[in-house]
């Protein structure tokens, strides 16, 4: 059994002016950075759910899954990623490309928290709530598949009393060009 990772990267990035996944930070795209970080944390497989563009990940051991329904919102990307997972996946780590403060140490700590949570999900805590990155066990996959629209896993994490890992930097995501400029400084 394994803990898989699904990198949510199919958004058009309308407020950013283009797909956030393709933005370059410190010499690599945000998508490559997120996928590489999930691999380094020991996730297998790593699935990147992308929009209608070339993600340029051929040199990484990442399964690229295009999401033709990306306009629906995050839920469609979660469903597409789950559909690509092997049947023996114990759990899934969900992460997005627009949280550049996510690193390998954070993901390893989150995976460790999940392994010691007694079957509960584990999530990052920031801005007074729980969010991604988060690890959800396989018994919650049907609940994830039932999500629709621009809803993510937060409702499930809260309902299930997810174990929480403080990550105040999680509140700083990249939505607009000025967010990217601030992060680069």
Q: Sketch out the chain's domains with CATH numbers.
A: 2-184 (3.90.550.10)
pLDDT at 20: 77
Q: What is the mean pLDDT of each run of 10 residues along the chain (185 residues)?
A: 90 65 85 96 97 88 95 94 96 93 95 95 94 97 96 94 93 62 62
Give the pLDDT of residue 54.
80
Contact 53, 128 (CB under 8 A): no
* Integer Cα distance of 118 and 113 in angstroms: 10
CB 130 within 8 A of CB 158: yes
pLDDT of residue 172: 73
Q: Can you tell me whether residue 17 is helix, strand or coil?
A: coil
pTM (predicted TM-score): 0.91
CB count within 10 Å of CB 90 equals 13
Q: For residue 46, what pLDDT is reported? A: 98
């Amino acid at each position: 059994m394994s803990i898989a990772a699904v990198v949510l990267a199919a958004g058009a990035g309308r407020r950013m002016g283009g797909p956030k996944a393709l933005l370059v930070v410190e010499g690599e795209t945000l998508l490559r950075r997120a996928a590489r970080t999930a691999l380094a944390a020991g996730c297998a497989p790593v699935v990147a759910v992308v929009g209608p563009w070339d993600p340029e990940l051929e040199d990484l051991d990442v399964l690229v899954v295009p999401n033709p329904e990306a306009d629906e919102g995050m839920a469609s990307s979660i469903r597409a990623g789950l559909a690509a997972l092997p049947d023996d996946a114990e759990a899934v780590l969900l992460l997005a490309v627009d949280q550049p403060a996510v690193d390998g140490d954070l993901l390893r700590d989150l995976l460790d928290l999940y392994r010691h949570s007694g079957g509960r999900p584990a999530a990052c805590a920031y801005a007074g709530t729980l969010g991604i990155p988060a690890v959800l066990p396989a018994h919650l996959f049907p609940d994830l598949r039932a999500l629709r629209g621009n809803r993510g896993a937060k409702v499930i994490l809260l309902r299930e009393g997810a174990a929480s890992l403080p990550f105040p930097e999680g509140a700083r995501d990249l939505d607009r060009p000025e967010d990217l400029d601030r992060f680069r400084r």
